[in-house]
Structures are given as C-alpha cells and as structure tokens.
Chains A and B, each alone.
Chain A
Amino acid sequence: MTTTTMSMAKALNAGLRRAMEEDPKVVVMGEDVGRLGGVFRITDGLQKDFGEDRVMDTPLAESGIVGTAVGMAMRGYRPVVEIQFDGFVYPAYDQIVCQVAKFHSRSQGRVPMPMVIRIPFGGGIGAVEHHSESPEAQFAHTPGLKVVACSNPVDAYWMLQQAIACDDPVIFLEPKRHYHSTRAEIDDAASPGPLWESRVVRPGDAATLIGYGPTVGTCVDAAAVAAEEGRSLEVIDLRTLSPLDLGPVEESVRRTGRAIVVHEAHVNLGLGAEVAARLTETCFYSLEAPVLRVGGWDTPYPPARVEEAYLPDLDRVLDAVDRSFAF
C-alpha cells in the first residue's frame, strides 16, 4: 500500500497506468497522447513504458479514432480514447451516437463495447473557442452510453479505472480547469465505492446544491460562504450523469425542501432539467420551492474575456439559494 499526494492530472495518469498494468487489453488512442503525453500530459510516460502498440499517436481524425476503437473493442481490446478538447468530439459524434452506443443492444449483447472516451471539458481556462464546452447532455441523452464526471483527484483515480473495467462505453468527463487546482492523498489500496453512485460531499440541512465535475468546487465554496451567514447547505456530487443516481439527492431534498442544480452546460435541456423533473416526480410534497437551475446561458460559449459572466460562480449559486428561500 502506498499513499501519494496528487493533482487530478497526475491521478488520471496513475489510474490509467494501473489499468494498463492490470489488463494488457487496455490501449490508449488519441492525438498527441504518445510522445507528448497529451496536451494536458494525462498520458505522460505511458507510451515509453507500454510501447507504441498500446499507446497510439493516431492520425488527426476524431471519427477515425473512435471508429477504429470500435473495431479494436470488437476484438477484445479496451480502448481508452482521448479527445483533445470538448469542442473536438463532434467529428466523432456519429460514431459515438450511432455506433458505439448501439452495438450492445443491436447485437443482443453479443458485441459489447467496452470503451472509454475521455473528454477534458468545461471552461474557465481563458481559451479560444471550442476549448471550453460542456457537451455532457448530448451524450447522457443517448441510450447505450454511460456518462460520468470526476470532480477531485481521488475520484479521478478510481473512477477512471472503474470506467475502463466497465463493459459498457463510458464518456469520461474531466474538468480541465481543475487538473492542477487541488491535490489530494490517494491510497492505492483503498476500496473505492461503486462508480454509479452520487455522493454527499458536504452535509447541510437548509438547501441542497447539486453539481458535478467543475461545479462541485463552486457549490462547496458557496456552501462555505452560506455557512458564515448561518445557512447550512448540503452539497451533492452527482459523479454519474447517466445513469443518474438520485437516491442521495432525494433523501437530501426531503430534508431540505430546496434544490439547486449547478452545471456549466447551457441551462436549456441540460442535466439540471432532468434532475428537476425527477425531483418534481419523487419529492413533490417535500419541495418548498421549485428546483432551480444555475448554468451557462443559452448562448454559444463566449470569448474568454467575458467567460466569467457566463460560468456559474459562487455569486450566482448564492443568488439562486436566495431565490429559493424567497419563494
């Protein structure tokens, strides 16, 4: 057993390395993932240690990467595909939605598709267009795909290994803004909880904040500020977006009566809409106010120098809390 302190970037690298050590069928495919170690260095050193057959610097073509990963998976490999930035997943969208997602069901289970598609997602890094997007709802909307998002180094380490071990295709979302923002202790002998569970990350009883990926930190910060003002907010990290695990959320909302979902993706038809609808169905009599959503506006992701006005921040979360209480 060893315990190491790591950033999320390092934790993903370590998780990937361990998955590759444990299963020789795990292969990594993507642009610049080999020699360079990926533009975010998530695959740093893997090609050196596992060779070019297992860590492939592919041609620059996302549809090609995912499409060939399908063929590899059919032959028993477990491809871990890196999409360089969220905005560049769309050339592969057809392969993901029409092919990857449907193989298992249309083959009546004869052809599983154990593939992980890693996507650094979300904004706040001052990037040019197409580098800050949050496409999760488009994949969560697609039956046959599972979608998860990590929010901290420990989850990153374990969730990635669990996603790779999963026999279904998993869209694995990494909040790139937090690759290096925090460090945490990772005990590689720990036994992680299941992948498909949401989790209370800060207990409270006045209102429930629901986030995932980059907004978990925002919610926790908001809860800390609210606590100073005497309001105790519970924060839940969804972790899994498809399937959703709303058990802990419902339990929480039955106590607090108020729920606010926070994501960077556009509010319109975002994950928040689904969470709100389900809470309305399951917790109707406990709700003191409508479920509120805080998210990116229904506009294209804006230029970097105005992105702060677009992204949900602490103020906007607290404003939603106020609105919930004012209802």
Chain B
Amino acid sequence: MNDPVFGPTPTAPADEGELVQLLTPEGERVHHPEFDLELTPEMLRTFYRDMFLVRRLDVEATALQRHGELGLWAQLLGQEAAQVGAGHALARQDFVFPTYREHGVAWVRGVDPVSLLGLFRGVDNGGWDPHAHGFNLYTIVIGAQVLHAAGYAMALQRDGVVGTGDGDRDAAVLAHFGDGASSQGDVNEAFIFAAWANAPVVFFCQNNQWAISEPIEKVSRIPLYQRANGFGFPGVRVDGNDVLASYAVTQAALKRAREGQGPTLIEAYTYRMGAHTTTDDPTRYRLMEDVEHWKLKDPLARVEVHLRRNGLADDDFFAELSAEADALGERMRRECHLLPDPQPLSIFDRVYAEQTAELAAQQAEVATYLSSFADHAGAGAEGGAA
C-alpha cells in the first residue's frame, strides 16, 4: 500500500528474508557480515548437549503432567535453540527475567529442573533463589516482567556496573517475552523506560508465532523487531531455531548493553511446536501442515548434522548424551514425587517481611481449627495439603 500523502505502509509481518542465520536447517555453516563468530568444537557440543537435555527435560515434564504429577506444563519444544543460545550469551553477573516457558535459559543458568516443576506441580510459586542464579522467578502475568527488567537495568546503572570496561563487572539484563506479550502496555512502557534511561537491557522476544490461538501475523503489521525503531533503539531478527545465531546476536546485544550503549530488541523467530500448555488443544486453531513445515527447521537436527558431517562429535558423544538424558529423566520422575506439599499453616508465613500481629492471630486460629480434626480422625491437619 502506498498512501499518496503518508507514503508506504509496511505489510510484511512474516517475511523471513531478513533473519540472521549462521547455521542453516540443513546444518550448513553460513557467514554473516555483522554477527559472525568462531566457535570451538567443544562449545558446539555444549550447545547441542544443552539443547538435547533441555528437550528431554521438557518431554519428561510433559509426561509428568500426563500422569497427574503436575497440574500444568508449558512446553518449550521447538524453542530450545533460542533459549540455549541466549542463555550462553549471558555473563555470570547478568540477570534474566523469564516468562513461564524459559526452561532452557533456566537450565543454562543452573536452576535445577526439579525446582522448575514446583510451580507446575502446585507446591510453590517458584522454588529457586533468583539472586543465586541471576534468574528471576517465572512470571505468569503477561508482560509484567519486562518492566522489572528495565528497572533492574536502571539499578545496574546506578550501581556503577555499566560501561566501566571491566568485563567481570559490567552487567546487563535479559528480558524474555512472547510475540503475544508485545501487545501489552507493560512491554511497550518497558521499551519507553529503557530508551529514556538508556538502560542496559536486551529485550528478547521469542516469536513462536502463536499466543495461545492467536497468530502474531494477525496482530502485527510489521516484523516485531522493527518496532524497536520507533522507540529509538536497534532491533534485529534472528533465526531462533539456530543456536549459533541466537548466541551470537544475544552476545553482541548484551555486550552493547554492558558497555553502556543501551537497549536492543531481539526477535527470535521460531515456532511453538507443542501446545500452548498441556491444557491446550492446538488442532482447534492451526494446521498440522504448518507444524510439519517447521519440523524441517528443527533446532537440534541441524546441529547434529553439522557435528557429524564435520567430524566434531563421534557416536560415543551421542550415546553418552542419550544416557545422560535418560538419567536426567529418571531423576526428574523420582524427585518430582519428593517435592514436599506445603503445610497449610505455611500459607501465612512470609506474606510480609515483618509478620503482622493480625495475620499471626489468624494463623493461630487456623492452627487450632486444624488440630480439632487431628484429635478426631488422625488424618488431621496434614490432610489439608492433599
């Protein structure tokens, strides 16, 4: 469309032409003028290993949900490369704000997969220490965490750990969100704040094409990365199924942020191969053909081909990895059962930093009430946790 007064209207939301890619779906290494990088065979194997294990983690958790051990699971199938690539680009001192689907980033940050299960099993709202891993708790309210990321980045600036030139000190923030989330006010406000503050934050949007049943191509008229222009910082679209490109682009953007050059928007172009969550039935709104089409771009397959074809990993490597994945799966199944149910009275703990007398009194009342059952039946207070 070309308006005689206002000029052209962009209309290509899903044009894949402008993707940054370093490894083709066929496993061929290609070069890119800005984002090229040399990786040791060992790093390539590490990327593959992490993606492989993360995929198993995801399959295992999905199975646990099917067996009634989890109430829900949000699968990352198909998004392993975007997450593992981005995760490896982080420095130890960086901080990550995930959605509820960033199991791959969690893995790279050293969060125990079993503690990821707590939220989905319904025993806690996130069982890990955000500060210990530089990885916030999952955020379910769409978009909220992106503002937190901008604010965390503003705090880094005030702490004097941006642009000092000391690579072990300078820090940045990685903010995750989905294509659907890009419609939320919070996300757009985060862009505004980050631009205003020139904050060291990398906005990492995994465009997996779907927000539950709504395709992004119906919502956005332009590729999401181009929105960054309007906010005054650079945007780039990367092949989110290419772990090398995801790593290279995120690394460059985080470096920029740590150096004090401000925010970047990365759109990792990928596909949600599974359902939105285990309660969703995607056959109601999308075609199997689309899924088949994306299977050809599988993030793991291309790395495996590349490793094998170039003699960078032998059969033993793959066999060992497979065994390692089996062990991980077995551990998750075992330890998921062991996650303790919260005690009813624990509901009242830690609502506040300083417990109030009022709430303590309510807790005591509930304790008395619960013990009245224990006296009768023996099933007792703990029964409440069933």
Could you tell me which A residues sit within 8 Å of B by CB distance? 31-32, 34-37, 39, 57, 59-61, 63-64, 87-88, 90-91, 126-130, 297-300, 302-310, 315-316, 319
- Enumerate 12 A-B pairs (CB-CB under 8 Å) in ascending A order: A35-B213, A35-B284, A36-B212, A91-B185, A130-B141, A303-B125, A304-B71, A306-B341, A306-B343, A306-B344, A309-B347, A309-B385
Query: Min CB distance, B145 to chain A, in Å?
Result: 13
Query: Min CB distance, B384 to chain A, in Å?
Result: 4
Known contacts A127-B72, A302-B347; decide if A39 and B342 are in contact (CB<8 Å). no
- The answer to whether B348 and A297 have CB atoms under 8 Å apart is yes
CA distance A63 to B346 in the complex (A): 34
Q: How many residues of B contact A (CB 8 A)?
A: 50
Set of chain B residues within 8 Å of A35, measured between Cβ atoms: 213-214, 284-285
CA distance A303 to B117 in the complex (A): 12
Query: Min CB distance, A135 to chain B, in Å?
Result: 13
- The answer to whether B184 and A91 have CB atoms under 8 Å apart is yes
Query: Min CB distance, A67 to chain B, in Å?
Result: 10
- The answer to whether A303 and B140 have CB atoms under 8 Å apart is no
Which B residue's beta carbon lies closest to that of A41?
A: B284
- The answer to whether A88 and B141 have CB atoms under 8 Å apart is yes
Which B residue's beta carbon lies closest to that of A37?
A: B284
Which A residue's beta carbon lies closest to that of B213?
A: A36
Q: Residue-by-residue, is B118-157 near A (CB-CB < 8 Å gives 1, otherwise 0)?
A: 1111111100000000000000111100000000000000
Set of chain A residues within 8 Å of B100, measured between Cβ atoms: 128
Does residue B229 face the partner (Cβ distance < 8 Å to A)?
Answer: no
Which A residue's beta carbon lies closest to that of B373?
A: A315
Which A residue's beta carbon lies closest to that of B212?
A: A32
Which B residue's beta carbon lies closest to that of A63?
A: B185
Q: Residue-by-residue, is B262-282 near A (CB-CB < 8 Å gives 1, otherwise 0)?
A: 000000000000000001100
Does residue B351 face the partner (Cβ distance < 8 Å to A)?
Answer: yes
Could you tell me which B residues sit within 8 Å of A by CB distance? 71-72, 100, 118-125, 140-143, 180-181, 183-186, 211-214, 218-219, 279-280, 284-285, 341-344, 346-348, 351, 358-359, 362, 366, 369-370, 372-373, 384-386
8 A-B pairs with least C-beta separation = A304-B122, A309-B344, A309-B384, A36-B213, A59-B183, A60-B180, A305-B122, A306-B342
Set of chain A residues within 8 Å of B118, measured between Cβ atoms: 303
CA distance A307 to B372 in the complex (A): 19
Query: Min CB distance, B120 to chain A, in Å?
Result: 7
Query: Min CB distance, A297 to chain B, in Å?
Result: 6
- The answer to whether B342 and A302 have CB atoms under 8 Å apart is yes
Known contacts A61-B185, A88-B141, A299-B347; decide if A128 and B212 are in contact (CB<8 Å). no
Query: Min CB distance, B353 to chain A, in Å?
Result: 14
- By secondary structure, the A interface counts as loop
Which B residue's beta carbon lies closest to that of A130?
A: B140
Set of chain A residues within 8 Å of B385, measured between Cβ atoms: 305-306, 308-309
CA distance A31 to B142 in the complex (A): 12
Query: Min CB distance, A290 to chain B, in Å?
Result: 15
CA distance A35 to B185 in the complex (A): 24
CA distance A60 to B181 in the complex (A): 6
Set of chain A residues within 8 Å of B343, measured between Cβ atoms: 306
Query: Min CB distance, B181 to chain A, in Å?
Result: 7
Partner of A60, one of B183, B347, B358: B183
- The answer to whether A127 and B71 have CB atoms under 8 Å apart is yes
Set of chain B residues within 8 Å of A308, measured between Cβ atoms: 384-386
CA distance A64 to B347 in the complex (A): 34
- The answer to whether B359 and A298 have CB atoms under 8 Å apart is yes
- The answer to whether A36 and B284 have CB atoms under 8 Å apart is yes
- The answer to whether B285 and A36 have CB atoms under 8 Å apart is yes
Set of chain A residues within 8 Å of B140, measured between Cβ atoms: 87, 128-130
Which A residue's beta carbon lies closest to that of B346?
A: A306
Which B residue's beta carbon lies closest to that of A316?
A: B369
Most-contacted residue by chain B among A128, A299, A319 (CB, 10 A): A128
Known contacts A130-B141, A299-B359, A303-B122; decide if A60 and B211 are in contact (CB<8 Å). yes
Set of chain B residues within 8 Å of A319, measured between Cβ atoms: 369, 372
Which B residue's beta carbon lies closest to that of A62?
A: B184
CA distance A270 to B369 in the complex (A): 21
CA distance A129 to B359 in the complex (A): 21
Set of chain B residues within 8 Å of A302, measured between Cβ atoms: 342, 347
Set of chain A residues within 8 Å of B125, measured between Cβ atoms: 128-129, 303
CA distance A39 to B282 in the complex (A): 11
- The answer to whether A61 and B184 have CB atoms under 8 Å apart is yes
Set of chain A residues within 8 Å of B348, measured between Cβ atoms: 297, 299
Which B residue's beta carbon lies closest to that of A126?
A: B71
Set of chain A residues within 8 Å of B120, measured between Cβ atoms: 128
Set of chain B residues within 8 Å of A130, measured between Cβ atoms: 140-141
Set of chain A residues within 8 Å of B72, measured between Cβ atoms: 127-128
Which B residue's beta carbon lies closest to that of A267?
A: B362
Query: Min CB distance, A131 to chain B, in Å?
Result: 8
Which B residue's beta carbon lies closest to that of A315?
A: B373
Query: Min CB distance, B143 to chain A, in Å?
Result: 8
Which A residue's beta carbon lies closest to that of B348?
A: A299
Known contacts A35-B213, A305-B122, A309-B347; decide if A297 and B366 are in contact (CB<8 Å). yes
CA distance A63 to B343 in the complex (A): 37
Query: Min CB distance, B67 to chain A, in Å?
Result: 14
Set of chain B residues within 8 Å of A60, measured between Cβ atoms: 142, 180-181, 183-184, 211, 214, 219
CA distance A300 to B358 in the complex (A): 15
Set of chain A residues within 8 Å of B122, measured between Cβ atoms: 126, 128, 303-307
Query: Min CB distance, B126 to chain A, in Å?
Result: 9
Query: Min CB distance, B354 to chain A, in Å?
Result: 15
- The answer to whether B341 and A305 have CB atoms under 8 Å apart is yes
CA distance A129 to B342 in the complex (A): 15
- The answer to whether A297 and B362 have CB atoms under 8 Å apart is yes
- The answer to whether B359 and A87 have CB atoms under 8 Å apart is no
Query: Min CB distance, A101 to chain B, in Å?
Result: 19
CA distance A57 to B250 in the complex (A): 32
Which A residue's beta carbon lies closest to that of B386?
A: A308
Set of chain B residues within 8 Å of A90, measured between Cβ atoms: 141
CA distance A304 to B122 in the complex (A): 4
Query: Min CB distance, B248 to chain A, in Å?
Result: 30
Query: Min CB distance, B165 to chain A, in Å?
Result: 40
Set of chain B residues within 8 Å of A127, measured between Cβ atoms: 71-72
Most-contacted residue by chain B among A32, A34, A60, A64 (CB, 10 A): A60
